[in-house]
Amino acid sequence: MNNSPIPLVDLKAQYAALHADIDAAIARVIANTSFIMGPEVRAFEEAFAVFCQAHYAVGVSSGTAAIELTLRALGIGPGDEVITTPFTFIATAEAISAAGATPVFADIDPATYNLHPVAVEAAITPRTRALLPVHLYGQPADMPALTAIAQGYGLALIEDAAQAHGAEIAGRRVGSLGHAACFSFYPGKNLGAYGDGGAVTTDDEALAGRLRKLRDHGRVSKYVHDEIGYGHRLDALQAAILAAKLPHLNAANAARRRLAERYCDLLAETDLILPFVPDGVAPVWHLFVVRTPRRDDLLARLREQGIEAGIHYPLPLHLQPAYTSLGLGPGSFPVTEAAARQVLSLPLFPEMTDEQQERVAAALIEGM
Ligand SMILES: Cc1ncc(COP(=O)(O)O)c(C=O)c1O
C-alpha cells in the first residue's frame, strides 16, 4: 500500500509542470535587470485585467496591501465602518484596521460560509462606507444581493477575491462584480507567485490611477509625491512569474473542479456535509471543505495516515486576541462559531492524482 504523504497543496508538482516557462521568465527579468515596475508588471496587469473581465488591474505587493490601498483610494479611513465576515483569514479585517477604519462583522450563511446578506443589512449604521465580502474557498459570495444592498445604501462594494481567481456568477468573473476586487498571489493561491504579490481590479479609471499612485509612494514624477503613499509595488520578478502561470490558470481551475466533483462522488455515502454550490455559481475550489461534528477525530486520523488536511479557519476574527478591542465575545456570530468547530479542508490541487484522492476518501470512510 502506498503511504507517501499527501500534502494539502503541492507547489513542487506545479513547478515541475511549468518549469520551462517559469525559468525563462525569471531569466528574462534578471537579464534585463528591470526589477521594479516596467514592462513585466504592465504586461501582467493587462493580461490579468482581461482574465478578470475588468478594465484595469493594478499590481501591488500582497492581497493585504490590495485591500488597504483600495480603502485608502476610496477615501475610507478613521471614523468609517466596513462590513465584512468574521470567517476569513485575518488579513481581510487587518487591512480595514490598517486603513484606519473599523471592521464590523456580520454572520455567514451556513450553507456557503459566505456573508449572509440579511446579516449585512442589519449591520449597516450611519458610519458604514463599504461592504467587503470574501469569496471564501473560491466560491463567490452572494454578489447580486450585496450589490442591491450597496446600491440601496450608497456604499462601496469591494470583493476580497484572494481565494477566487477565475470564479464566476452567471458567467461574470470575480474581479468585475463590485467597485474593485482585491487579489492575493500568495504562493498557495489558485494563481500564486514565488513570494508575496497582489492586485486590484476595477472598471473605474480614476480609482486605478489613484491606486497606481498610492502603491508607489504617492509619486507623480521621479521625486515629486503629492500625497503620502506606500511602498506596495508588485515586484517585476513576481509579475513575470505570474504572467507565465496565468495562461495555465483556466486549465488548473478546471482540474480543481473535476477533483471537487469526484470528491463529492467518492464521499456521497458518508455523513459528511459536502460543499453547497448555488445555481449559476462556478467556484474555483481554492479549498474543498467538508463539515462534520467529528472534525477533530477525522483530522487526527488523516494526519496519522500522512494526509495533510487543514482548518480554515479555527478561530473566527471576532474571537482573535488581536480584536478583543471590538468587545465581541463568544455567541456574537453563532453560525460562524459553529462552522469554525466543524469545517475540514481536504487536500486538493490541480496535479492531485486519482489514487491520492481515493486514499483521502478511503481514510475518511474508514473513520466514519
Ligand atoms: C481571504 C483572504 N484575504 C486576504 C488575504 C491576504 O493576502 P496576502 O497574504 O497576499 O496579503 C488572504 C490570503 O493570504 C486571504 O485568504
Q: Tell me the CA–centroid distance for residue 91 and ligand 1, in Å.
A: 6
Q: Tell me the CA–centroid distance for residue 224 and ligand 1, in Å.
A: 31
Nearest atom, ligand 1, residue 88 CA: 1
CA separation for the pair 67, 44 (Å, rounded): 19
336 within ligand 1 shell (Cβ under 6 A):
no
Q: Tell me the CA–centroid distance for residue 165 and ligand 1, in Å.
A: 12
14 within ligand 1 shell (Cβ under 6 A):
no
CA separation for the pair 2, 339 (Å, rounded): 33
pLDDT above 70 for 160: yes
CA separation for the pair 216, 200 (Å, rounded): 14
**What average pLDDT does range 92-97 have in this prediction?**
98
Identify which of 113, 314, 117, 120 has the alpha carbon closest to the alpha carbon of residue 103: 120
Write down the pTM of the prediction. 0.98
CA separation for the pair 179, 298 (Å, rounded): 41
What was the pLDDT predicted at 368?
80
Q: Which region, left, alpha or beta, applies to residue 331 given φ > 0 means left and ψ of -120 to 50 means alpha?
A: left
Q: Tell me the CA–centroid distance for residue 204 and ligand 1, in Å.
A: 23
Give nearest CA residue, ligand 1 atom 7.
Answer: 63
pLDDT above 90 for 367: no
Give nearest CA residue, ligand 1 atom 12.
Answer: 162
163 within ligand 1 shell (Cβ under 6 A):
yes
Q: Which of 184, 194, 287 should be mutated for ligand 1, with most atoms under 8 A from CB?
A: 184
pLDDT in tens, 177-204: 999 999 999 999 999 999 999 999 999 9
Sole residue written with cell 506606500: 230
238 within ligand 1 shell (Cβ under 6 A):
no
What was the pLDDT predicted at 3?
78
User: Is residue 65 very low, low, confident or very high in pLDDT (cuts 50, 70, 90)?
Assistant: very high
68 within ligand 1 shell (Cβ under 6 A):
no
Query: Which residues make Cβ contacts (< 8 Å) with residue 242, sequence separation at least 6?
Result: 44, 48, 185, 191, 193, 197
H-type alpha helices, the chain:
11-32, 39-51, 63-73, 91-98, 117-122, 143-153, 205-215, 236-245, 249-266, 295-304, 334-342, 354-366
pLDDT in tens, 316-348: 999 999 999 999 999 999 999 999 999 999 999
Show the 3-state SS of 257-291.
HHHHHHHHHHCCCCCCECCCCCCCEECCCCCEEEE
Cβ(110)–Cβ(145) below 8 Å: no
Q: Which of 186, 191, 242, 289 should be mutated for ligand 1, with most atoms under 8 A from CB?
A: 186
On the 0-12 / 13-18 / 19+ scale of CB atoms within 10 A, 300 is exposed
**What average pLDDT does range 222-228 have in this prediction?**
94
User: Is residue 2 very low, low, confident or very high in pLDDT (cuts 50, 70, 90)?
Assistant: confident
What was the pLDDT predicted at 9?
94
CA separation for the pair 24, 241 (Å, rounded): 9
What was the pLDDT predicted at 1?
59
Distance of CA 6 to the CA centre of its chain: 23
Q: Tell me the CA–centroid distance for residue 228 and ligand 1, in Å.
A: 24
User: Is residue 33 very low, low, confident or very high in pLDDT (cuts 50, 70, 90)?
Assistant: very high
Nearest atom, ligand 1, residue 64 CA: 11
Bond prior to 15 in cis (omega within 30° of 0): no
**What average pLDDT does range 63-74 have in this prediction?**
98
Residues of the chain above pLDDT 70, percent:
100
139 within ligand 1 shell (Cβ under 6 A):
no
Q: Tell me the CA–centroid distance for residue 10 and ligand 1, in Å.
A: 19
Q: Tell me the CA–centroid distance for residue 90 and ligand 1, in Å.
A: 8
Q: Mean pLDDT over all residues of the chain?
A: 97
**What average pLDDT does range 211-237 have in this prediction?**
96
Q: Cα Rg for the chain, rounded, in angstroms?
A: 20
Which residue type is seen at 190? N
Q: Tell me the CA–centroid distance for residue 92 and ligand 1, in Å.
A: 7
